[in-house]
């Protein structure tokens, strides 16, 4: 399974725009919609009950060409269980791909593949 998010945007560039202009505009769009990016990352870590925080997007990690691209989201994950005396924090990163739909003014974000868990035996 892959988690997807659709973001609405006001077209500040088009398919023929310079890739630097497009990356600047996409960087602004993604940083304005960090809640949705957090939600996408959280969905990936949900089954392990890990929290996601301190998300960093660097414009240098963006790749864009002809309405498609990707970027690298760097973030922290954590797990805390006081009863079991567990406190775990670690750095993570995820490549998020995207495609721009210029007709509908949307950007589709697609996270990494989430493997389906096997049913647990009782």
Confidence (pTM) = 0.78
- SS3 call for 84: coil
Are the CB atoms for 57 and 31 separated by under 8 Å?
yes
pLDDT digits (tens, 9 = 90+) for 1-23: 667 888 887 776 767 677 888 88
Residue of 4, 3, 33, 11 lying closest to 100 (CA atoms): 11
Q: What is the pLDDT of residues 32-50, one digit of tens each?
A: 999 999 888 888 776 666 7
């Amino acid at each position: 399974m892959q988690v997807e998010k659709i973001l609405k945007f006001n077209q500040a560039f088009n398919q023929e725009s310079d890739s630097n202009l497009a990356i600047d505009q996409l960087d602004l769009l993604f940083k304005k919609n960090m809640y949705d990016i957090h939600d996408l990352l959280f969905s990936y870590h949900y089954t392990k009950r890990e929290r996601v925080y301190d998300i960093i997007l660097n414009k240098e990690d963006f790749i864009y060409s002809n309405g498609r691209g990707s970027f690298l989201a760097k973030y922290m994950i954590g797990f805390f269980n006081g009863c079991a005396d567990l406190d775990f924090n670690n750095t993570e990163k995820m490549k998020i791909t995207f495609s721009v739909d210029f007709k509908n003014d949307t950007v589709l974000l697609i996270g990494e593949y989430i493997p389906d868990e096997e049913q647990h035996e009782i």
